[in-house]
A and B are shown apart, each in its own frame.
Chain A
Amino acid sequence: MSTRTVEYTVSSNPEMGMDGRPVASPVFPVGMEPDFQGEHMLINIGPQHPATHGVLRLVLELDGETVVKCTPHIGYLHSSFEKLGEYRGWNQIIPLTDRMDYLAPLIYNVAYAAAVEKLMGIEITERCKVVRVMLMELDRIFSHLIWIGTTAIDIGAFTVFLWTFEERERIYNLHEALTGARITTSATRIGGMMADLPPGFTEAVQHFVDTLPKTLDEVDALLRNNNLWVGRNLDIGVISAEDAVNHGLTGPNLRASGVPYDVRKDRPYYDYETYDFDVPVGENGDCYDRYLVRMEEMRQSLRILQQTLDRLPDGPINVDNPRVILPSKTDCMSDMESMIHHFKVVMEGIPAPVGESWFGVESSKGELGMYVVSDGGSKPVRWRVRGPSFVNISTLPKLVEGHLVADVIATNASLDIVLGEIDR
């Protein structure tokens, strides 16, 4: 058993004194006393762990309490989604999309439907566009609420978890009113939606938009200027702008590092360029900035929600194309042609032209890419999901080097990962 000297820069070490020189303490900071450096310890976090946000395994190489190297191991939730997609018709894949990012299922439903509609050259109706934007922003808030709840509970603030889950129950009620399911919504179909908005839905969303800011203010009051919160998050997990882009970070993680890239602004879809909203951009790229960016994003999403409620047009929710959309049951039972169309859509599936489509959507975690390749059949040749959390978690080793073990938990939480889309 030999000793090794490892040199690295420590970005935030509480053992450093105010003058930048290490403070003598029983826990020796790195690099100060080489002959006190013993063996490094290997610690395993997960895959079953309360604070890893799913089945993530981190193997930390520690020098005392400081992380020398962190290796994430994933694949503990690999559910062969992409393989299953090759055996399902275009509409049958939609229930699979709910189960990947189960914290914001409607965003995945919409992204997938949009990718396939782009491939097929289908232009959805105006009402459907506005409804989909409304549902996506609602789920962005949904996802950020659980993010702040679980991050706070990881760092020790239990109350925030209970408050945000109560708000989420209201969104669960909205999901259930629309689709019948709380989490696994499967609300979209190729060419439209599973069903139009039920009566009372827009009033409920309006009530939600009016009352959520109060809860957000309460959460902010608890956390934003809290000594403990700031101490656990400020200057922790810093990543610079070029490193963030090079590592493929997108979404709030990238914007917290100062890069103003948002798919809704840079490659808009569904008329996002006509909505009036801002994109919060941070400066330092640390956990605290990621927190601020996401809190502000929730408020901006409320702005967009209000605009969708104001501009929601009447009209059909589905495209008028019988080869794509199921006819109504009344027609189907009374009219032979509609029955044949129903038969073809259900038995054969929807025909797609030869080609491919990569559709990027601003999901709550980053840029979600849906890549569908078709060879003219009713099932895809390849369905690829570019899950933002897969890329986000790959930056964790870089973010936590030199930090303490507790900071690993805080940084992991601030990246907002969901294992369903990492492992797919």
Chain B
Amino acid sequence: MAKDNDTKFEAALKDLAGTGPGKRQMPGPGVQTEAVDAHPSVDALKATFGDAVLRHEQHAGDEHVVFVDPERLREIMAWLKDEPAQHYDLLKDVTCVDYGGGRPIQVVYELWSIEHRRQLRVKVELPVDALDVESVTPLWATANWHEREAYDMFGVQFRNHPDLRRILMPENYEEGYPLRKDFPLRGRFSRAEQTRRALALDLEDYYLPEELEVKEQKGGTTPEPGAERALPETAGQPGGARSVPGSEAQAGEGE
């Protein structure tokens, strides 16, 4: 009886086979996403910057995406912001997309022009071994925190960023860059190790005088995952081995 049901089920599955989601594929040149409609900013961009504009795609009906050359990102963004006919004054979002499998990571900038009521998404594709791009913080102040988060989650280095350090994860987080596809969901260390490292965080870290000169002290970036770093000696000592706030650091700094 059960075997009959099984074969009936298989037969029904076979009937409907092939109607599923289909092969997974990356969007890219020629894959269903080439732009159909014209976008005034993209036309003007092509006219002004020529071959720095690599691709123009259209998604979900009315969203226009333009891929640009990472080397010329800064001047293209400055032009998009300042040119009166474009005037993209609101930078809504800076984020990244990692497709995994060694494919380039895309950095996505979502722009909106309040005056012209126009949307444009600008993307740059960065190879995984050369993940750095110019920061747009001097143009839009909001990019400061967005780029910090993109660095924290994906490891993209933003050149000339005023304060590039981790924002969501603890500053000494060493497991890597969480939103990359090669980063496992539960992290690289065991739970016990994660707990131990978490409890070893120095809570007074932020209000020693170092806080006032963040960039110089932290060196601007956090160490690469796996780099040699000694954990603070807190295991087993009562109260944790924390220096009395201020005294040792100040003595060391000579400030």
Give yes or no for direct A-B contact (beta carbon below 8 Å): yes
B110 within 8 A of partner (CB): yes
> Which chain B positions have C-beta within 8 A of A358?
63, 93, 110, 119, 121
Distance in angstroms from A287 CB to nearest chain B CB is 20
List A330-374 residues whose CB lies under 8 Å from chain B.
336, 340, 344, 348, 351-358, 360, 367, 369, 371, 373
CB contacts (< 8 Å) of A369 on chain B: these are: 92-93, 110
Most A Cβ at <10 Å: residue of B13, B63, B93, B209: B93
Binds B, one of A77-85, A200-208, A313-321: A77-85
A267 / chain B contacts, CB cutoff of 8 Å = 117, 119
- Specify which chain A residues have a CB less than 8 angstroms from the CB of B146 in the assembled complex: 391
- Cα-based distance from A262 to B234 in the complex (angstroms): 51
Interface residue count on the A side (C-beta < 8 Å): 63
Question: Is A1 a contact of B255 with CB atoms below 8 Å?
Answer: yes
- Given the known interface contacts A261-B114, A354-B25, the answer about A43 and B63 at a Cβ–Cβ threshold of 8 Å is no
With contact pairs A83-B178, A84-B185, A376-B21 given, residues A344 and B16 touching in the complex (Cβ less than 8 Å) = yes
Known contacts: A248-B142, A261-B90, A267-B117. The answer to whether A83 contacts B179 by CB under 8 A is: yes
Question: Is B211 engaged at the interface, CB distance under 8 Å to the other chain?
Answer: yes
Docked complex Cα distance between A376 and B93 (Å): 24
Q: Which among B41-49, B162-170, B236-244 touches the partner chain?
A: B162-170
| Chain B residue nearest to A82 in the complex (CB) | B179
Spot the interface stretch: A139-147, A162-170, A221-229, A380-388: A380-388
A118 at interface by CB-CB < 8 Å: yes
A351 to B21 CA separation, bound complex (whole angstroms): 5
Most buried by B among A73, A82, A384: A384
Interface residue total, chain B, C-beta cutoff 8 A: 61
Contact of B142 among A59, A119, A247, A375 (CB under 8 A): A247
Q: A71 within 8 Å of B by Cβ?
A: yes
- Give A246 to B100 CA distance when docked, in angstroms: 33
Q: Give chain B interface residues in 198-255, CB to chain A under 8 Å.
A: 206-209, 211-212, 214, 250, 255
Using CB atoms, name the residue of chain B closest to A357: B60
Given the contacts A121-B61, A356-B27, A358-B110, A245 and B179 also touching, CB distance less than 8 Å: no
Known A71-B211, A82-B179, A384-B93; contact A354-B61, beta-carbon cutoff 8 A: no
Q: Tell me which residues across on chain A come within 8 A of B91, comparing CB atoms.
A: 248
Does B3 touch A at the CB level, under 8 Å?
no
Instruction: Provide the bound-state CA to CA distance between A382 and B212, in Å.
Output: 36
* Complex interface: chain B residues within 8 A of A1 (CB): 250, 255
Q: How many residue pairs between the two chains, A and B, have CB atoms under 8 Å in the bound complex?
A: 157
Q: Please give, as numbers and ranges, the residues of chain A lying within 8 Å of B65 by CB-CB distance.
A: 356
Q: List chain B residues, Cβ under 8 A from A121.
A: 60-61
B135: chain A residues within 8 A (beta carbon): none
Chain B residue with minimal CB distance to A75? B168
In angstroms, Cα B211 to Cα A2, docked, is 16
Which of B21, B170, B178, B255 lies in contact with A378, CB distance below 8 A? B21
User: How many Å lie between the Cα of A121 and that of B12 in the bound state?
Assistant: 28
Contact A344 B99 (CB under 8 A): no
In the A-B complex, the 3 residue pairs with the smallest Cβ-Cβ separation, listed nearest first, are: A248-B142, A351-B21, A357-B60
Taking A248-B90, A355-B33 as given, write out 18 further A-B residue pairs in contact, using a Cβ cutoff of 8 Å, ordered by the A residue number. Answer: A71-B211, A74-B167, A75-B166, A75-B168, A119-B59, A246-B142, A259-B114, A267-B119, A336-B12, A354-B32, A356-B97, A357-B59, A358-B110, A358-B121, A369-B93, A375-B24, A381-B100, A391-B145
